[in-house]
Amino acid sequence: MTMLTPRTPRKLGPPGRGRRERKAAELEARTRRVGEQLASVSARPAVRVLQSVDSSHHGLTHAEAALRLDRHGANEVARERAPHWFVQLAKAYCNPFIAVLVFLAAVMYWQDPADPGVVILSVMVGVSGLLRFWQEYRSGRAADALKKLVTTTCAVQRRAGGGSGPTTIEVPMDQVVPGDLVKLAAGDLIPADLRLITAKDLMVGQAALSGESLPVAKADTRTEDLGQHETTDPVEADNLCLMGTSVTSGTATGVVVATGADTYFGSMAGSLAGERPQTNFDTGVRKVSFLLIRFMLVMVPVVFAINGLTKGDWDEALLFGIAVAVGLTPEMLPMVVSANLARGAVAMSRHKVVVKRLNAIQNLGAMDVLCTDKTGTLTEDRIVLDRYLDVHGAEDNEVLEYGYLNAHFQTGLKNLMDQAVIDRVNEAEEVVVDARFSMVDEIPFDFARRRMSVVLNRNRLVGGPEAEADAAGSAGRTGPARPAENAEHVLITKGAVEEVLDLCTHVVDGGRTVELTESARIRAALTAEENNRRGLRVLAVATRTVETPRDTYTVADEEGLTLVGFLAFLDPPKASAAAALRGLADKGIAVKVVTGDNDLVAARVCAEVGIDVGHVVLGPEIDALDDLGLRALAARTTVFAKVNPVQKARIVRALQAEGHTVGFLGDGINDAAALRDADVGISVDTAVDIAKESADIILLEKDLTVLEQGVIQGRTTFGNTVKYVKMTASSNFGNVFSVLVASAFIPFQPMPAIMLLVQNLVYDIAQLATPWDRMDEEYLRKPRNWDAKGIGRFMVTIGPISSIFDIAMFLIMWNVFGANSEAQQSLFQSGWFIEGLLSQTLVVHMIRTRKIPFVQSRASRPVMVMTVLAVLTGLWLPFSPLAGSLGFVALPASYFPWLIGVLLAYCTLTQLVKTRYIRRFGTWL
Residues annotated as catalytic (active site), given as ranges: 373
Residue 489 per-residue DSSP state: E
Helices (H), 660-784: 672-677, 689-694, 704-745, 753-766
Burial letters 507-522, b for 16+ CB under 10 A, else e: bbbeeeeeebeeebbe
CA 278 – CA 599 distance, rounded (Å): 38
CA 426 – CA 476 distance, rounded (Å): 12
Question: 3-class DSSP state for residue 205?
Answer: strand
Question: 3-class DSSP state for residue 855?
Answer: coil
Residue 274 per-residue DSSP state: S
Residue 652 contacts residue 635 (beta carbons within 8 Å): no
Query: Pick from 482, 481, 670, 493: which is nearest to 564 by CA?
Result: 493
CA 342 – CA 141 distance, rounded (Å): 10
CA 190 – CA 557 distance, rounded (Å): 29
CA 905 – CA 889 distance, rounded (Å): 25
The neighbour count for residue 610, using CB atoms within 10 Å, is 14
Residue 780: exposed, middle, or buried by beta-carbon count in 10 A (0-12, 13-18, 19+)?
buried
DSSP 605-622: HHHHTT----SPEEHHHH
Residue 768 contacts residue 869 (beta carbons within 8 Å): no
Residue 282 contacts residue 199 (beta carbons within 8 Å): no
Which amino acid belongs to residue 563?
L
Query: Pick from 805, 901, 791: which is nearest to 847 by CA?
Result: 791
Query: Pick from 708, 673, 704: which is nearest to 348 by CA?
Result: 708
Residues in the chain: 925
The interaxial angle of helices 116-147 and 96-111, nearest 10 deg, is: 160
For residue 418, what are the CA distances in angstroms to 121, 408, 732, 758? 67, 8, 64, 70
Reading phi first (left if > 0) and then psi (alpha if -120 to 50, else beta), residue 252 is in beta
CA 164 – CA 80 distance, rounded (Å): 40
